[in-house]
Chains A and B, each alone.
Chain A
């Protein structure tokens, strides 16, 4: 029995290790114009980006913390103590793992990234603090004209596509954190899939925070041209620190006519991370944007992936699983903006609260009255593990007009002590019983994940539950 626990403990702490790294580039603490100049100089960025960043900084400073509706825990982020840019091996990611500096390579090997790449991925980008240490795309995929590179390289190498969409799906001033990201962004992926190209294997990015008192601000832009299809997956971990770490990404997706983008996240942040992310997709005629979002860990996550359905018959979908462990707050949801006739959206959200964990669902569905034949389906289910757990639902559904349909279902259930006893009576420990119940609860959603990720997800749930009892 003891042996099991040790083994599981090591696993649960999968991301909780850290090698000492010397940072060659360090913008120091705090964010001001000088920090931005430092980042622009180091990255050798064009002037329009410098201006873009400085405008964003103004907006960030102007905007109040959204504590009038969101958690007051946000007030505990001390922006002046955070380091906004840290990089070790320079700004150019390596194309082979052999070239990646040893300690950084060791980190990603321990997280299993090179192995996954060999097994089932079409391309990988591995970001270590502010910059990607490794970025590579399989030759066959590159030959199809697919571009997969870091956002810094993309804005220099492909300005014509990059500038056209950058900041268009999520304007700088969308919210305080999108402004922060726009001012300090570094890393993240740029993907362009040419018309009609269907990328059969997923492209993956892995975001690793290694440094203390650090903020990671990756910026991702994915464009699927007409009839193209792509699946992108991201994973993330950070070691546990006593101090707060900030992760604030902006992800913009553009699915042109008839294109399909699927974006999968499995995050496993340590519970000192403030994870404040803005994610939105634009779906043109007959296009589809699907977010599959799984949030485990972090101190506070605020994330509401959205889809703006701009073309006729466009489809948007958000499938999300949030697990709020002891002391954690998962504030997640979805935004569906219908902006054309016959657009359909689907939201399925499942949250699990353990111990003092708190899960909040916020949904926004907008169907204006002049549209016809639009449909939304929203389901949100919450599972409470202990009596001290908490869940709240704030659906804001504004459906106007008579030719539109909206369906909304919500449920809250609890793992009862009788259920746990029943399972224990069959020989499962209390932790195994809880973990199986939780897995059962999310089972139908997990099936939508690619195999490799659903196995990982199941394991993460097991480990989280193992930690939640006695």
Chain B
């Protein structure tokens, strides 16, 4: 078992503090969901874990198996098993999905070892079939001209190919139609297992019917104000966040 630990994390961008003492434990084998109002810092959390250079960690720590990863470059973190499915994935003009994933996998191999092309394509096609993506996608440039839903599906394809230890899914459900939601959830579920820990950020309880979380956290104003089981998501769906944003709610924050 591996362990991703966020320890009393404070993060700023410029002068403004966005994460204000956030703690979270994510062991492999578990799925945690994070819900929270717009602007509460969910994407910030995901990007800081991945090592985005715009954010400054002012105090606290992010540890994998007890070792701080704060000094690591984003690519080193990725190769160590951290994967972020972006809320807004970037386009990479002219670089095909097949070439991109190939380069990403090649980057994980030891010096002098070449990725085996036949095995690679077999795996790529298998994962595309799982996500019901047409083969023509392999030769399209990464995210270029993709619909919102296609981008999200492409993120999950990448996750399936890279088989991360810790997957951070930032609003992967937004932009997906109901059929796509089922397909993508199926793809995500097939990666669940004792080797993988997942952090699923979403606004909609509906997703959690398909990807059933072990824990649900409510994030408000850069902190986790409430944690519980999947029933907590139902409460949020029914009552919104008002109860959690009230001053006394902050007092019960972990």
Contacts and interface: CB of A to CB of B under 8 A. Distances in A.
Given A422-B90, A424-B78, A432 B107 contact: yes
A417 B53 contact: yes
Given A427-B78, A429-B75, A440-B92, A421 B53 contact: yes
A421 B78 CA distance: 11
Q: How large is the interface on B (under 10, 10 to 19, 20 to 34, 35 or more residues)?
A: 20 to 34
A200 interface: no
27 contacts: A3-B111, A416-B90, A419-B92, A422-B90, A423-B90, A423-B92, A423-B100, A424-B78, A425-B51, A425-B84, A425-B86, A426-B101, A426-B104, A426-B158, A427-B104, A427-B107, A427-B108, A432-B75, A433-B75, A436-B92, A436-B95, A437-B92, A437-B95, A439-B94, A440-B92, A440-B94, A441-B93
Contacts of A418: 90
Nearest to B83: A425
A448 interface: no
A440 B78 contact: no
Contacts of A425: 50-51, 74-75, 78, 83-84, 86
Sorted from nearest, which 9 A-B pairs have the closest CB atoms?
Answer: A440-B94, A440-B95, A422-B90, A424-B74, A426-B104, A443-B94, A427-B78, A424-B75, A427-B107
Interface string B66-96: 0000000111001100011010011111110
Contacts of B75: 424-425, 427-430, 432-433
A443 B104 CA distance: 18
Given A421-B53, A440-B95, A429 B86 contact: no
Contact of A440 (B84, B86, B89, B141): B141
Nearest to A438: B94
A424 B158 CA distance: 13
B103 interface: yes
A440 B93 contact: yes
B52 interface: yes
Contacts of A440: 92-95, 141
Interface string A192-209: 000000000000000000
Nearest to B47: A421
Contact of B103 (A413, A416, A428): A428
Determine the main DSSP class of A at the interface with B: helix
Nearest to B82: A425
Interface in A430-452: 430, 432-433, 436-437, 439-444
A421 B52 contact: yes
Contacts of B141: 440
B199 to A, nearest CB: 15
Contacts of A426: 78, 100-101, 104, 107, 158, 162
B90 A419 contact: yes
Contacts of A429: 73, 75, 107
Nearest to A429: B75
Given A432-B107, A441-B94, 11 more contacts: A422-B86, A422-B89, A422-B92, A424-B73, A427-B78, A427-B104, A427-B162, A429-B107, A436-B100, A439-B95, A444-B94
A441 B91 CA distance: 12
A10 to B, nearest CB: 14
A333 B83 CA distance: 43
B152 to A, nearest CB: 14
A76 interface: no
A442 B79 CA distance: 28
Which of B79, B94, B99, B103 gathers most chain A CB within 10 Å?
Answer: B94
Contacts of A441: 93-94
Contacts of B51: 424-425
Nearest to B141: A440
